[in-house]
Chain A
Amino acid sequence: MNPLDVLKSAVSNTFRNKVRTLLTVIAIFIGAFTLTITSAIGAGVSSYIDAQISSIGGDSMLTVSSAPDAAPAGDGPTPYDPDKQATASGMSLLSEDDVTAIAAVDGIADVQPAVMLSPDFIEFDGNGKFEIAVNPMAGIATIDLAAGAQLENGAGQNQILLPASYVDGLGFADAESAIGQPVTLAISDYEGTQHTVEAVVQGVQNDSLFASGAGLNADLRDELDALKQTAKPAAVPSGYVMAIAFLADGTTPAQLDDIQAALTEQGLLGMTVTDQIGAIQDVINGIIGVLNAFAVIALIAAGFGIINTLLMSVQERTREIGLMKAMGMGGGKIFALFSFEAIFIGLLGSALGAAVAIGLGSGLSSALSATVLSGLPGLTIMLFTPASIATIIGIVMAIAFLAGTLPARRAAKQNPIDALRYE
C-alpha cells in the first residue's frame, strides 16, 4: 500500500462513522479552541506590554535616579543632611555632577537629564485652554502613536505629541487633522509671569499605561525650561528628577549588571524598564500559563476520546483488518492507517477550533476594544499569529497521534485468523 493510499483510506475511514467522529472532533475542538484563545490573549497582552515598554524606553536605557538612602543600622531615623538637594516633595534630585558621573560609567553611551516641566495650559486656535501634563520620557523613547510621526530632537522647530484624549478638546476633527497644526503652550516662571510658546503637533499618541502626558521634543523642552528658570531665586535647588542613560549597543545582561552596580556605588539607582514592570509581565505570563494548562488538560481528555473512538473502530473493523492482513498487508501499514486516522481527527478538531477561535476572538476583541477596553488604545486583547496557530495544531496532532498509537498497535497486532473467525 503506498503512502498516498494509506492517507486517503485513513481520511475516508474517518468519515465512516460520522456521529462518532463528530463527537470526538467536538472534544478536540473545545480543547483547541480554548488553547487558541488563551494563547492569543497571552500574545495580545504581551505585545501590548512590549509596546508600552518601548514607549518608555525598552531595554536600551536605564532610568537613573538618586538612590533612596539605605536605612542606617539599628533602623533609627536618618540624620539630616543640609547639603542634600530635594524637591518640595522630599525627593532627592540629581545634580549636574551626578549626570557627569553617570556619563562616565563604562558602557553608558549617553545621558539625558529629564526635565520636569508643568506648562500652565495648552490652546489651539482660541478653542479653550486646557491643563496638560508632560511625559518626561517622550522625545527620548519611542512612543506608541495613533497618527503622525515620532518627535525629532534638534529639528529647529518646537514639536509636541498630543495625547489622544486632547484631540477633541482642542477642537480637531480627528487625530490626522491635528498633525502639523500650531498650538500654544503657556508656562509660568518663578515670579508668576506667564510666557507663551508656539509648537507644532508632530503626532498623536495612544493613551498608555506608563507614558501619560504630552511629549515635547528637545527644542520645546529647552525653551520651556529656559522660560521657567527666569527669575529663579538662588536658594532654590536645581537638578533633575531623573536622567535617562542610554546603554552602548550590544550590552549583555552581565554588562548591565556591572553598570547597575557602578551606579549604585555612586549612590544612584539605575533601573531598566524590565526591572520596573517585569514583575507585571511575570504575573500575566503566569496566569496565561495556568489557562494554557487547563486547555491542555482538555486536550488530553479529548485524547482519551480519540483512543475510545479508534478502539471501537478497530473492534468494528476487526474482519476488515483481518482480511487486509490475510491479503498481505503488513502490520506497519495497518498501524499507519489507524495513526493517520487519529492524526486526521486531531487535524479536523484543531483546525476547526482554531478557525472558530480566530473568528469569535477577533470579533470579541474588537468589540471589547471599542467598549470596555477603550481606555487602553492599542491593546488587541487577542492576538492570533500564524506561528502560534500552527504550533497549536501541531500540538493537537501530536496528542492525537499519541492517543492513536494504542488502538493502532492493537489493530496492527491482530491475527488474521482470529479476525476472520470473529463473529
Chain B
Amino acid sequence: MTELILQATDIGKSYGHGDGRFDALKGVSLDVRRGESVAIVGKSGSGKSTLMHLLALLDEPDRGTIRVGGVDAQQLKPRALNKLRNKDFGFVFQQFFLTPNATVLDNVTLPLMIAGVGPRERKARGMAVLEQMELADKAKNKATNLSGGQKQRAVIARALVNNPSVIFADEPTGNLDSATGAVVEDILFELNKTQGITLIIVTHDRELAARCDRQFFIKDGLEAVPDAAASVAPANSAAGANA
C-alpha cells in the first residue's frame, strides 16, 4: 500500500460574515496516495477550487485538519510551508498566469528563482524542462507570443521545474480547444505514469475526470455520490469516489 501524501479530514471553509456568509466546504474528507491521479469534479460554486486551494496549503481551513506526508499542516511554520509549496507542489492554472513580458525561460524558472537557485543552474534546469515540453526553441520568446497550447505547456514546464511530488491542475484544459487540450492531458498523465508525480485535477470536464485513477465528486460543499446521469467510466468512479 502506497503512502498517503495528502490527507484532508472533515474540512470546512466559509467566506464572509453574517448574511453574506457562504459555506464553500461543509466537512469534506479526502485522502490522496502518492503517485495516483485524482479528479475533483463539480460544478462551479461546488467548492472544488476551494478544496484544491486548501489541499495545496494556499489557505487554511476553518475546521478539520490537512496532513501532508503525515504532518499536520497547521503545525508548519510559514517558512516551512513556503518551502513545501515551492519544492513539492507544482501548479497548473486555467488562466496560465504567465508574466506576459518576461521570456518563457524566465517564467518557467520562477519557482527556482524563488527557491534561491543560482542563474546558471536555473537556466540549465529550465532548458531541460522546456526540452521535455518541446518548447526549447521558444525559450527566449515573450510569454505573450505563445499560442494557448504552448502557454499551457510552458505552465506545466514551470510546475515541473522544481521536480514536485504533486501537481495541482485547476481546469488545465479549460482555455484550450479539444485538440490542444488532449495534448496537454496526455502530457500530464504521462508525467503521472513515468515520473510518479501525483496529479490532483480540478475540473468539470467529465472526460478528463474519467482519465484519472479516481474521481472525487463534490456538490454544495459536500462529497456527492455521482448519479447515473453524471456518472462516467463507472468501473473507475465507483472505487474512487467512495474511497
Q: Give A residues with C-beta under 8 Å from B.
A: 1-2, 5, 9, 16, 319-320, 322-324, 326-331, 333, 415-417, 420
Instruction: From known contacts A5-B113, A319-B97, A323-B97, infer whether A328 and B86 are also in contact, taking CB-CB under 8 Å.
Output: yes
Residue B111 at the chain A interface, CB threshold 8 Å: yes
Residues in B with CB closer than 8 Å to A320 are 97, 99
Residue B93 at the chain A interface, CB threshold 8 Å: yes
Residues in B with CB closer than 8 Å to A417 are 53, 58-59
Chain B residues within 8 Å of chain A by Cβ, number: 26
Given contacts A9-B113, A323-B97, 7 further A-B contacts (CB under 8 A): A5-B113, A320-B99, A326-B56, A328-B86, A329-B82, A329-B86, A420-B58
Residue B83 at the chain A interface, CB threshold 8 Å: yes
Residue B116 at the chain A interface, CB threshold 8 Å: yes
Complex Cα gap A9–B83 (Å): 20
Residue B79 at the chain A interface, CB threshold 8 Å: yes
Residues in B with CB closer than 8 Å to A328 are 81-87, 111, 114-115
- Which of these, A322, A324, A331, A420, contacts B114 with CB under 8 Å? A324
Residues in A with CB closer than 8 Å to B110 are 323-324, 327
Is there an interface contact between B111 and A330, defined as CB atoms closer than 8 Å? no
Residues in A with CB closer than 8 Å to B114 are 1, 324, 327-329, 333
Is there an interface contact between A16 and B101, defined as CB atoms closer than 8 Å? yes
Residue B91 at the chain A interface, CB threshold 8 Å: yes
A416 closest partner in B (C-beta): B58
Is there an interface contact between B59 and A2, defined as CB atoms closer than 8 Å? no
Residue B20 at the chain A interface, CB threshold 8 Å: no
Residue B78 at the chain A interface, CB threshold 8 Å: yes
Segment 53-104 of B: residues with Cβ below 8 Å from A: 53, 56, 58-59, 78-79, 81-87, 91, 93, 97, 99, 101
Is there an interface contact between B116 and A1, defined as CB atoms closer than 8 Å? yes
Complex Cα gap A416–B168 (Å): 15
* Nearest CB of B to A157, in Å: 73
B168 closest partner in A (C-beta): A326
Is there an interface contact between B78 and A326, defined as CB atoms closer than 8 Å? no
- Which of these, B78, B97, B99, B101, contacts A330 with CB under 8 Å? B78
Residues in B with CB closer than 8 Å to A330 are 78-79, 82
**Nearest 5 A-B pairs (CB), nearest first?**
A328-B86, A328-B82, A328-B85, A329-B114, A2-B116
Is there an interface contact between B59 and A326, defined as CB atoms closer than 8 Å? no
Is there an interface contact between B93 and A420, defined as CB atoms closer than 8 Å? yes
